Chain A
Amino acid sequence: MNATGYNFAYLDEQTKRMIRRAILKAVAIPGYQVPFGGREMPLPYGWGTGGIQVTASIIGADDVLKVIDQGADDTTNAVNIRRFFAKTAGVTTTEHTTDATIIQTRHRIPEVLLSAHQTIVYQVPTPEPLRWIEPREAETRKMHALTEYGIMHVGLYEDIARFGRVTTSYNYPVRVNARYVMSPSPIPKFDNPKMDQMDALQLFGAGREKRVYAIPPHTSVESLDFEDHPFQIETWEERCALCDADDSFLDEVITDDAGTRMHVCSDSDYCRDRQEAGHVGDGGPE
């Protein structure tokens, strides 16, 4: 541990106990948002304060931490959070998904399947999926208690009536264990199917709203849809310009002032692994 004058993993023990108890209840009631006493963290809301508090509460000296932001290990947010825990908890960090025991993420789930020894921690800006429809917390609590979710389908139906399809492409609401409707955090809906029956434990931390929630391993996670308009994920005609992948979530990158663009994997570790294994893309436009 490099930093002195801090408790292990930055948070004090009283705070960790409180968050740990909240996490245990969150796991016991899949998809239900447990309120917790969120603390001030040394970075602003919106930079992952919820995820960091969850990670700080679960992490131990022998954990290996990976942090991704929009799928990439090398973005400012990811680098900062990784360094934060290397400093305050002395843990080993990695960019390799398979080597990590804890993966903190913003906006993506890694492309490779996560396994039972791993825990994924999502950073969540808005934990309440009903908030867009009902601004009052007391009301949304009651709606969850009474399983009153019809209005969520009305929202999706309005999309279909207007555009012929559901246009929500990220933060696509899911139903956990056939009970609670839950916000999966702003991951693309491409990642939603990965949450279903995942081998790894999934924890969600919302710092500004002070909520934690969880999906235990091997739990059903269903994206809301209709029989005649089943849930569908994004597809691309392009392949990754660097690793030729046709099965991963692609980012469109503009490469010059003339609007030339290429598609590359959003998951930087997945892309590098494939390139090291000899897969070569077309390199994008000249």
Chain B
Amino acid sequence: MTETGDFSAGFSDGLRTGLANPAEDAQGIFRAALDAMSRPGTIITLNQELAPPPPLGTATAAILLALADRDTPVWLGTSLSNPDISGFLRFHTGAAVTTSPGAAGFAVTEGVPDLPLDAFSLGEDEYPDRSTTLIMQVEDLSSDGPIVLTGPGIETGIEIGRRIQIGGVAKSFWSARSNLSALFPRGLDLFFCSGNRLAALPRTTTAKITETGE
């Protein structure tokens, strides 16, 4: 007997299960992600039962299981680079785990990435869609915070912009992100995930910190 049939080999506590109903679950997760991307800063709660290998969060794992595959190499930040997570993603999505951030379709970090944002792919002027989608796991995600968002997908009415609180993201990240806006249409699209909640910030969204942020 060889060990090829034993899928849990190399995992510290066995291979965690993926989506129970791949077609329906992936559709639901995608629609949540689409809603989030269409209405930047709106916080969406997934009702997806998932127990991904820690410290990979539920919403992060859900997005990857629904959208990553062999066409989208996944880059993992230092704290997420462990064999349980890379094995989990390889098994369920078929995606390659890459060490090169510029080659990543999806990049996943806990908190702000410890490398400059333009280390990821920002796409090309002619093909700005060929850019990395950065999924950032954050401590907290709530509405009515000090960050005011404006741009496509956000209604400008009596109160301008949509407010959001994103925990554990340093001010320097926001200035680094706004520096990228000069490169438009090139840019980086972001998902913020906290537990089973997610919000998105496409490259077109302008974020301003009003009160004393972190």
Contacts and interface: CB of A to CB of B under 8 A. Distances in A.
Contacts, number: 109
A21 interface: yes
A30 interface: yes
21 contacts: A17-B67, A18-B69, A20-B34, A20-B66, A22-B129, A24-B67, A25-B131, A26-B129, A27-B37, A29-B202, A35-B127, A58-B30, A58-B31, A141-B126, A141-B127, A145-B126, A179-B184, A216-B37, A216-B152, A217-B153, A218-B154
A29 B38 contact: no
Top 4 closest A-B pairs, CB basis? Answer: A28-B202, A145-B125, A216-B153, A25-B129
A29 B153 contact: no
Interface residues of A, number: 41
A87 interface: no
B114 to A, nearest CB: 24
A71 to B, nearest CB: 25
B88 to A, nearest CB: 17
Contact of B69 (A17, A58, A141): A17
Interface of B: 22-24, 26-28, 30-31, 33-34, 37-39, 66-69, 71-72, 105, 125-129, 131, 133, 152-156, 184-185, 187, 189, 202-204
Interface in A145-179: 145-146, 177, 179
A179 B184 CA distance: 10
A14 B154 CA distance: 31
B131 A60 contact: no
A215 B152 CA distance: 8
Contact of A216 (B38, B66, B131): B38
B67 A29 contact: no
A213 to B, nearest CB: 10
Contact of A24 (B34, B153, B155): B34
Contacts of A78: none
A30 B152 contact: yes
A144 interface: yes
A194 interface: no
A27 B155 CA distance: 16
B189 A13 contact: no
Nearest to B71: A18
Contact of A20 (B30, B126, B152, B189): B30
B152 A32 contact: no
Interface in A41-100: 57-61
A260 interface: no
A179 to B, nearest CB: 7
Given A17-B69, A23-B34, A29-B202, 14 more contacts: A8-B23, A17-B68, A18-B69, A20-B34, A25-B129, A27-B153, A28-B203, A58-B27, A59-B27, A61-B24, A141-B126, A145-B185, A179-B184, A216-B202
